[in-house]
């Protein structure tokens, strides 16, 4: 894999991670703040600690499920991975802009499944 292609994929992954953060990040604390159960400062503190603990203890299991448990990694090309990420980014931006509720994880999984289906039809 060339350096330019690898750099492009890493850049797209970082863009997806950033958009995932601002698209889904508020969902962690929205109910606590809107119901006035907690003040925003405490809600954000609880949200930050919970996000860190979840990523620290469960991050590997989630990454393993997405990388091997949903689609066979041998059925998807690097270009399809790029297309899946680009589709998830586009979907997240559109739903955020229009104010529609949406999940970044579901967008990514849908992109991966769609890319794997297209790749499997093209390869056969």
In 10 A of CB 40, how many CB atoms?
Answer: 11
Q: How many domains does the chain fold into? A: 1
Q: Which residue shows structure tokens 């689609």?
A: 71
pTM reported for the whole predicted model: 0.77
21-52 pLDDT, tens digit per residue, is 887 777 778 888 989 999 999 998 998 898 88
Element (H, E) at 70: none
**C-alpha to C-alpha distance for 97 and 95, rounded to whole angstroms:** 5
Q: Which domain holds residue 86?
A: 3-123
94-97 — which CB contacts under 8 Å span 24+ positions?
95/23, 96/19, 96/22, 96/23
**Band of pLDDT at residue 124, cut at 50, 70 and 90:** low
In this predicted structure, what is the pLDDT of residue 1?
64
**C-alpha to C-alpha distance for 22 and 90, rounded to whole angstroms:** 14
């Amino acid at each position: 894999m060339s350096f330019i292609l690898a750099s492009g994929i890493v850049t797209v992954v970082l863009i997806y991670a950033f958009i995932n953060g601002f698209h889904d990040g508020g969902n962690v604390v929205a109910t606590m703040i809107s119901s006035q159960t907690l003040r925003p400062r405490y809600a954000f503190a609880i949200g930050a600690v919970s996000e860190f603990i979840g990523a620290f203890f469960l991050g590997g299991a989630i990454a393993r499920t997405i990388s091997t448990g949903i689609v066979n990694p041998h059925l998807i090309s690097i270009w399809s991975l790029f297309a899946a990420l680009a589709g998830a980014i586009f979907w997240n931006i559109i739903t955020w802009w229009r104010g529609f509720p949406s999940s970044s994880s579901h967008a990514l999984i849908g992109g991966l499944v769609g890319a794997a289906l297209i790749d499997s039809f093209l390869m056969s």
